[in-house]
Structure 1
Amino acid sequence: MRIGGLASGIDTESIIRDMMKAHRIPLDKITQKKQYTQWQLDDYRSTNRDLRKSSDKLFDTVMKQSTYMKKNVSVSDEKAVSITAKGSTSDFSGTIEVKRLATQATLQSGVLKHGDEKITDAQAKTLQFKDMEIKKDQFMISGKDTLTITAPGKDAVDIEVLETDTIDSLLAKINEKSGVSAFFDSGTGKIAMSAKDSGKGIIKISSKTNLVENLKLNAPKPPDPDNPDALVPLFEPEGPRASYGADAKFTFNGLETTRPSNTFTINGFEVSLKQATTSPVTFSSSTDTDQVLDSVVEFVNDYNEMIEKLNSKIKEKQFKSFHPLSAEQKADMKEKEIELWEEKAMSGTLKGDPALSSMLNNLRSIMSASVNTTDKDGKSLDKEGKQITISLHDLGIETTSNYLDNGKLTINEDKLRAKISENPNAVYDLIGGKDNGIAQKYRTELQDAQKKITVKAGSSTTVNDNYALGRSMKSMDQQIERFERKLQMMEDRYWKQFTAMEKAFQRANDQSTQLMNSLGGM
């Protein structure tokens, strides 16, 4: 702690502070420049994130051919069959007649009793196999057993069964590990099983001991002679307890075929069979014009939003007299005053940026370009033998007449809808085409601008030395550090000088006192 002016009565601290203020002016300018550079860096990185999002969205939407090939499918009997487009690029029509739906294989046990009574829900949860009797037959599980289950379309699975297991715990293992869903119904006293997948086949169960017989899970020989490998019961069944799963059987455009499931895909269309039919069901697909139109409109709107935002940035006014505020300056201002001041101080950080300006100019040219395409019949040449081309103008998309819009686009939706209905492939060639499509060129411009901005502003994970603004900020940090050391040395020198002056004053005062005392003594 320094206290000056005790001898001289001079406010040393205020004098030195005022003197240092003048010396700090160059340092304040460097600090202000650093703050402005940080704002500029933040704006560049924010812009780069926006460009990356736009680039990714182009790739995921209008650059994909499926965007322009979305289909509506009409079916004459939707209660029997439903058909949904899942990526087909061509129209689709025909007939389908459902002979039989795919079904799951099922199996039911006989009635399970403990003693003479049906097993209850509580007993299914708590009664262990070692303590359970079914029709007075003691379960023969000593320590553990193995249950082998095979379901249609699945490999055999071995399930360990312990003498401490209950019906519920065994069924939980079956549900978890096998291709079978099983549950116990206390109303009937039976275990019911069904294959998790539909399709031809039967549930087969075997065990090392008599567990299958005691649980009455033997599948009786079915009446279907086409399935010779069915299990034969070891006791007289209480009626049919097993049913074979069946494949769906149908005639598709004259071809009789089967599928293990009622839902399947043919030629890019998902077909779901719901019930058998007595006559063919007709279906046909057509371009989903509304969906395609919405995608193109969104593409144009995103483009307009982007160029409006970027043009406002590169043309934003700079207020050179509004510098970043220091902490001392903010302390003397109201919150609203600070907000209004910094709004002007932060303005124009990207003004005239060459990378963004060049990209915007190139995009205007891209949006007015034509590309080669084919007509609705797939022909690439017109009647005069000239290559057929298409541009946004042909879709009803034009540049606005107001030059202040900086190349914004406007859409005639009726014209666009008609073109999509007439020839969606041509719309794809223009916007999404892999080689010369507008979106591909657009995305290339975005990526080039991103690279240039990254060279200038880096990214959140880039070391300062690897980009231009980072090197500038590092240099300013070094200048600030050197200047602060210099100012500290200067302040220390002032205090030494004023301290020496105070000591001189003190000596003079002491001498004066001594002289007065001497004269008074005379």
Structure 2
Amino acid sequence: MADMRIGGLASGMDTDQMIKDLMKAERIPLDKLQQKKQYLEWQRDDYRDMNKMMFDFSNLIFDGVMKKSTYIQKSVTISDPNEVSVKNINATGDFSGTIKVESLATAATMYSSAAITQSDGGAFDPKKKLSESFGLTGEQTIRVKAIQKDGTMAADFTEIKFDPAEESMDSLVTKINNQTGVTMFYDSQTKQMSVMSKNTGSNGAGAEIELQGSLFSTHLKLDADNDTAEAAGRGSAGENAVFAYNGMKTERASNTFTINGFELTLKNASNTNVSFSSQPDTDKILEKIVKFVDEYNKLIEKVNGELNEKNYRDFKPLTAEQKEAMEEKEIELWEEKARSGTLRNDSVLSSAMNKMRMNIYTPVSGGTSGTDQLSQIGIKTSSNYLERGKLIIDEAKLREVISKDPNAIYEIFAKDGATTGEQGIARRLRETLKDTIDSVEKKAGKASSTNNTFALGRLLNNTDNQIDRFEDRMIQVEDRYWRQFTAMEKAIQRANQQSMYLMQQFGGGM
């Protein structure tokens, strides 16, 4: 049973307020612990913000200035885009020439010799089960072989097994179209089945479509191959595209093909010369490099700002009681100063800035282009020391280098090598960023980390334990104060009772 608390009944004192005031003084160390916890949490979150920014920048490097594809982007000029289209796939050099299209590649075709009917002579419905349409029973098998993209015939037939009691013509056609090298189509007007090879071109040594199975021959009235169908006037052979490239006549199985890393698509067989040429797509390449420089500048500005941010020692994190006595704007302004300087002079981030500057300034050795420094491609460091290594682009010079030799820029950023000096700037930066991120994670962890796996987390756990112990002690201290004041009140009450008794005794004897 808890001790009964007597608050000022005998003494007339405001015992409750007095104990609250005494507890305020007792709680000062606890408030400091809670302020310490808040500061550690701010520091942890600020470290994680730095890590996210570095991680995002590392990814931007990888997807931008480090990729070969960034530097092989080409703009292509064509005298007649309605005849031919040209786009770069993986060419590093420029590309020009003429092309004259004599004929386009076509796909092999074939179709039923007559209208398809049900086995009982009734009208064929492609939605009905094949067992009902054609009287088929038991597992059935059909096989299809067709020409491939490279113009050669597939080595083997594609086999499809089906249950006619479960399969309709519509559902089977869907399987054939999905699984084989042909496209089938049932025409409800003519009641015939059409078959076309998915790939264009001539086999050169036979048919481009071959069909096996009684469903094809007996019920769909299709020939065994498109050559047979063509001879009977119900099909056509596949044809290669025929064209002259820089005056040399040649063929391709498809209207779309690759020469020297460029993809050409033939659109029209007009038999007229179409000229084309390529050059580096300066704008697109420049865009990637400008993005890299902008994000690099943002990163070093942010990190340097954190390293040099002032620490206001007189502004401690606010306690809950202090917040209650302040306006929202006052809290915001106070905490802005209280949170300032959490990463001031941090050794890990300071080291990262020094390494990144070295990554940028150190020449890239062993390249083939003779270009080994950013200044040679129009990127230099700001002369304003207050900007702490900010990069500035001379756009005219950078455009000139892109137009002349984009591969030189690729080597400066992305060249691989056994030593740091031989590696491109982007590779060095990513390695520095990775090491820094790992070091920061040891201090501040990441969102998925548990506190005992990183330094600040362990400090937070220790602070939480101290807070818990101190709060238990506060309960004991408050109970002690109440016991003392209650004992005092009881003593005063007894003294008052004795005084009253004596007064009554003396008064009664007079």
TM bin, normalised by shorter chain, reads: 0.7 to 0.9
Query: What CA distance in whole angstroms lies between the structure 1 residues aligned with 2:101 and 2:406?
Result: 33
What is residue 383 of structure 1 aligned with on the other side? none
Letter in 1 for 2:158: A
Per the alignment, residue 185 of structure 2 pairs with 183
Aligned to 2:265: 272
What is residue 373 of structure 2 aligned with on the other side?
A: 391
- The residue aligned with 2:463 is 476
CA distance in 1: counterparts of 2:436 and 2:346, whole angstroms? 11
Residue equivalent to 1:428: 410
Q: Distance in 2 between matches of 1:367 and 1:145?
A: 69
Q: Cα 1:159–1:175, aligned 2, differ >3 Å: closer, same or farther?
A: farther
Q: Which residue of 1 aligns with 2:64?
A: 61
Residue equivalent to 2:296: 303
Asked if 1:111 is matched to 2:106, the reply is no
Q: Which amino acid aligns with 1:420?
A: I
- Report the TM-score when normalising by structure 2: 0.85
Q: Determine if the alignment matches structure 1 residue 459 to structure 2 residue 446.
A: yes
Structure 2 match to 1:147: 142
- Which sections of structure 2, spanning at least 5 residues, go unmatched? 149-153, 417-421
**Structure 2 letter corresponding to 1:398:** K
Aligned equivalent of 1:385: none
CA-CA distance at 1:331 after TM superposition: 1.7
Q: CA RMSD in A?
A: 3.1
Name the structure 2 match of 1:52.
Answer: 55
Q: Give the alignment of 1:348-427 within 5 angstroms.
A: 348-372=341-365, 388-427=370-409
- Identical amino acids, percent of aligned pairs: 46
CA positional deviation for 1:497: 1.6
Give secondary structure in 2 for the equivalent of 1:37: helix
Q: Which residue is equivalent to 2:169? A: 167
3-state SS of the aligned residue for 1:310? helix
Q: TM-score, normalised by structure 1?
A: 0.83
Q: Which one is further off, 9-18 or 251-260?
A: 251-260
Structure 2 distance, partners of 1:231, 1:186, is 21
Q: Secondary structure at the match of 1:323?
A: coil
- Aligned equivalents of 2:243 and 2:92: distance in 1? 24
For residues 485 and 141 of structure 2, what CA distance do their matches in structure 1 show?
A: 99
Distance in 1 between residues matched to 2:24 and 2:166, nearest whole Å: 87
1:314 alignment counterpart: 307
Q: Which residue in 1 is equivalent to 2:43?
A: 40
Local SS of the residue matching 1:175: helix
- Count of aligned pairs between the two proteins: 488
Quick check: 2:308–2:341 contact (8 Å CA) kept in 1?
A: yes
Superposition deviation, residue 391 in structure 1 = 2.8
Aligned to 2:223: 218
Deviation string, structure 1 residues 473-509 (Cα, Å, up to 9, x no partner): 2222222222222222222222222222233234334
Structure 1: gaps (5+ residues): 133-138, 223-229, 381-387
Q: Distance in 2 between matches of 1:258 and 1:479?
A: 83
Alpha-carbon displacement from aligned partner over 1:341-396 (angstroms, at most 9, x marks no partner)? 2112111111122222233234344434444577xxx6x7xxxxxxx554333333
Q: Distance in 2 between matches of 1:220 and 1:487?
A: 95
> Could you tell me which of 88, 91, 103 is aligned with 2:91?
88
Judging changes above 3 Å, is the alpha-carbon distance between structure 1 residues 455 and 146 closer, same or farther for their aligned structure 2 residues?
A: closer
Aligned to 1:384: none
Letter in 2 for 1:324: P
1:74, distance to aligned residue in structure 2 (A): 2.8
Q: Secondary structure at the match of 1:320?
A: coil
Task: Indicate the SS of the match to 1:91.
Answer: coil
Shift of 1:143: 4.8
Mapped partners of 1:407, 1:221: distance in 2: 70
The residue identity in structure 1 corresponding to 2:353 is L
In structure 2, relative to structure 1, the CA distance for the partners of 1:272 and 1:480 (3 Å cut) is same
